[in-house]
Structure 1
């Protein structure tokens, strides 16, 4: 089965991608990380097998919302003529839709069983671990030894649609484990536990039945004792509560109330006090203090104003030049900045002069200002020079391009010739070897003839396996017929039992027959499927028949079955002999001869394909060499023509440059730079002139401001210190002007403040008179307040006020306590009695009575609780007796469980016998199959490692491997480097794939970045092995990689392979 292409509706980042250009052999897909290679591998797995059911860790690759999740694969079953198929699968079907749809090219829909057949009955784990694997599966040897992977491969081709021979064993194993498995929770262990539980219940039930009368009498006595004890506890608690209440009332209410009443009688308070007396005192005192502070503050303010008026003196000279000074002051900042700019201006002039001299020096000794002002390079001159440069560059590029093409062509011719020599030598070596069947006399056999011979061998292989199966069935039927006749003669149940024993004997006979054939005839791959089927059929068929039919089978029926088997066997033998004669091998053919013929034919087909491929490669290389040599001759002529064109353009430039006055040494690309240099010198000249102009303006502004300042200083009679020499920005001039400015401002401020200070002094004087009167009024009010209560001063007044406030508080407390006492004792005779008793004040007596009553009640409560628990235990025992199962029912249940346990043990023993026979057979079957896989894998591994490890061997433990180096030393898998281990795993997979293809049919192989950890030499060798494997086995291989190195290695080792590059959601050739 081959993969023609796919259409991905939506799977991760891949959306609406259709691709139908795959080769039947090697295909290489290259793209960067996250281009979609791993997503494509996941899609191939999903389209063929879907997602695992349930919540698994499989990547689902959901597309963007709104895009259908899934797509289609286009399959082609060319080797068997089955035609084309389309497999469409989606993650979630719409309403009324299907998740999986399989159609033929005609549009006919087929069942999922057809897809299973196309896949050679490979399951999901086998495909993911062996045929479509990534670096993750490659790095784990467990993916090759996973349950069912090798089993599916080694048992491919067995009668029964290629199903695994281990399925029957798993079914027996599962049923046996459900019956009994060590300490596990099985049916047998459950039955044993249930029987033990029933035994305990039976014994306990019998003992409880004897104790019932005594328990009923005990329960009545305990109930009466509980009622009497509860009545006594209630009385004790009531007495304790009354005594405790009297004590609490005395401490909390009545005692404090008597104390408060005593304190009230001792207090003597004036009647002049009121509720707001403290507030009135605070208001009067605060008013007196506030008015006193105001009088003191006003007096201080009056003295300050008088001193301020004395300091406000006049300066008439400063006032006379006030306006001129303020105008000059506004320009002080500008003047100071201009003085600072003098130095930078002088430096700028010097820099501009120096820059101008350097610019003229760069132009040359003959350049000066006059010549510069008369020199001009127009835009038309620079444009024409640019056009000359472009023409020269184009001509030079053309020469270089033709020279490069000529070099590349020569290198390509040499490379093709070297490759051709290698292919010719390889072809000659192949011709020198023997060509196998049909070529001994120089006869050339066609691919169709070889395919026809292979088909005949496969049919002969299947018929020989069928013949062995019929022979075992015939022997088993004969043995069963004899046992049936003897059982019918016995005519009893004992005869039926003997029939069952005969069935088991027939099963042993079938197994023994298969083992004899297996050992004597040298059967390997062809006999092993028959052996598994014969044994499984014999064991299950005869056991089931014996138990189902019993002694009802008649000798006539058995004889008819034997006749039919003998007729089928004779027909099959005739077909086998005819096929053997067609193939030219001895009759009857043995399995060993058929296997030898199959291996020889495979070698012939592989050699024939290799020679045909080599011959075509040589023809393609000859055509490529002729085509490249012809192209080289044309390119050589173009080189000479382009060099002549470049020389002509150079001569035209030289003539034109002299005509417009440009220097003779100037090249076109430097004309624009030369014009820029002229422009730069002109800019230096303009900058020098501008610096001189700005400097003259700066000096004039500074001199003007200093002259105006000197005139104002003279008018105000302000002295200026003498300077040793005349300077711009003289510090003594600035100091004198600063003093004058300060004088002017002081004089202005004095004139402004004098009227305001005089007005403020008058206002303060009036305010002082008012405040003094208010202070006298506040003092009189305080004295009157003290006199009304007979207080000498404020402290005496506060002491009398405190007595008044304490009296008010005590009266409130007494009222609250009287009300609280009435609330707590209530009304009536009992309340009167409590009041009378409270008057006695016997607090210690009340507390002693309360403690005694509470202690006695607690003691009685403990005794009551214990009595109640005892009573409850007796009630529970009585309830248990009422609800217990009938002893007779328990005994009947136990008998039923014991019978079921006996049957379970008998069935488990039968299953163990069958399982042992099949397990031993399957182990021997896999050991015999393994060498062919290891031989294929060893060949590939030796090629990849350059002969360092020529052999892979099976370890003593089935399913484990080791390698043998060139010195014959063994190495385990954990002794290999990571890269070497991965190379081994790839080679083992190739061996398994080749075995599967021979037995069940071809499947496409997909690998995702499996060469990333290989060095260059082994990566190239592995690429060569994969290309050769694909061609020899007609096996379709898809290699996904993000490494440009890997892509180039495949291009080198497999020129005929198809290469695709991932782009935006697609791959292009």
Structure 2
């Protein structure tokens, strides 16, 4: 099975998505994470095996998220060349409804399970359609159906396998016998030894018992010898009886040999004479019958010809029919005339229809024009203003509205400047008041200084020198302190004066800006009032003042547009009316021309048919029918000629067959058929006698037991008589009776010895012990035989297992090993499955084995991928191949292993259809580099499939 196309109606994120033609064995689909690759993989699974329900393992049923009916279809091509469409849709069942449609006549109806070759969902999802998660999960290869194929050793041991059987045999042998004790045989031998000791203790006449035992053994040997004599005697007696049983066949054999001699020599018939004679006679009779039938058919054909000519009419004779031209020329001429007449007739009808259509169209255009003129006169008795003028006024209103809005914003900015000016004036007043508070106490230090100088002068005049000097120093210090204080106050006053000047500058600047704004606002307001006056608005104070004018102009513009549209339609209607009138005139001219052409072609046909002596009212179709009838009569004439030739051929065949019969009689040397038949009877009798001789001989060979024994038996039969055999039979019977009598006597003596031995065995306990001993001996013998069988079987299986592990592995393991060697570049040469444990081991190039627990993740994924490829190859040898779908299984491979794995998959896809889904652009490019044009490439983007790679 190969998927040759698919379509998703609704499944998860997909709606109306698919690939119509998938004619390449390898398809690579590239899509980002979340693009829907896993959903696409699940769609293929669901289409073949049904939607998943709550109780089904795996992802949900992927209800449509983007519209569409839940499901879709696959177009598949089977290995036998038939094609089908598998349609999966939602239904009451969880898995949905499925229908199979054959796409060609060679595709019989089939069940889906038949198309799938009986494959299960587990097989498909874990081996044929899998993602990286299934590849990494060892449990996916542990399903019962997969395990049976992967690990069956082919030894015929069923599901247990050779190691299980060997282990069971060894366990059974150990339970039967082992040296350390504790086994079944060891227990029986211990019990037997104890029983024999008990019997010896219980016997009071051990020596007599031993003597009786010896006699018992001797008599048993004598009985055995007598039994051999009895068998020999019975064998001789059986031979005599075989001779007596063969005697009637022997007599018949001798009688047939006598008859053979009596017949003597018979002239040999030619080779296969009887068969040739019978065939020649049958041929002669057949030719006679053929001649009769051919004559009757020729007469019937003549009657058919006469009737057919009469049906054509009185003027039609066989001679005229035979010479009438029914070939291609008159048929072509009639067909051509019929075609032209039909064309001109159709052209006339078409032209008449065109005239009617043109007339209807002209009436419709006139009605449309009149309706528009009536609408114009009713709705527009006075034309509205010109649309361009109205639109100019609207543009002016729109500019005025924008100007009014801008003017409002400018007034807002002026108000803001007024606020900033008031704030600056407040700063000037506050700073001025602060400056004045610092200037008032500035004269006090000068008065104090003057007073101190006066006091110092008085002290000096009073000759208080020291005091005056001290006071002068104090006065100097005080002066300097006062001076420094005054300088600091001067600096503060200067700073405040500067800040006052700055604030006054800001006030002046704002006053200038406010004045300029007032001037600009006044000028713009005047311009705006001028525009408003055009529309009856003397003063425009806000945008809302312009709204009534804007509304009125909008209505005028709408009316102007409607009027313009009506004028345009009226102009178009008048043009259409003129065009329709021209079309009507042209259609009427075409009708006249078509009518004239038809009459011309009809006259041409009548002129052609008149010389043929046919009715001039005969149409081309009727003429063609007449030609067909004439041709059928000509065929009858041809058939009549053929049947006349058949009569002639039958006459010649009869003469040839009669001559062949006479040739056979001459070869046999017989004068006539009577003598030939007598000759045949003699030869038949001779053959019958020989057959009987062979038959009796075969019976006697069987009775003798073979050809060699028959030779000896023949000599015995030839050398004796039935009377002698009867005597020998009596003597043999007597010998057998005598030997049997002697054997009976010996058995009687054996019974006597046995009775005496039992008599010597005292008490019930001795008898029970003896019985126990015999039973234990028998059980020990049986256990020993069973132990031998177990040990021998275990040894043979061990040898076979060792040979198998060295030389043979299951086909799947061998195929998987070959794939692993290619993927790893020869680093690992093959896989080996241990029969005793069932474990897989990887063998390196050097022969070293690596167990499962030593595999890293990369090697594990490479081995599990190889196992699936091997399984698929083995499965498809005996079952319908299924498509292989992989979802990013190379994601964890390094570049070298990925390169070799891709090459392995490209080679694999030459035999098995493969679809590879990936989110890695480099993987897709590697596929394209290795597969080239032998593969198809798609990109999955925005939940759509696009051809090619980015």
Would the TM-score normalized by the shorter structure come out above 0.5? no
**Rg larger in structure:** 2
TM-score (norm: length of structure 1)? 0.32
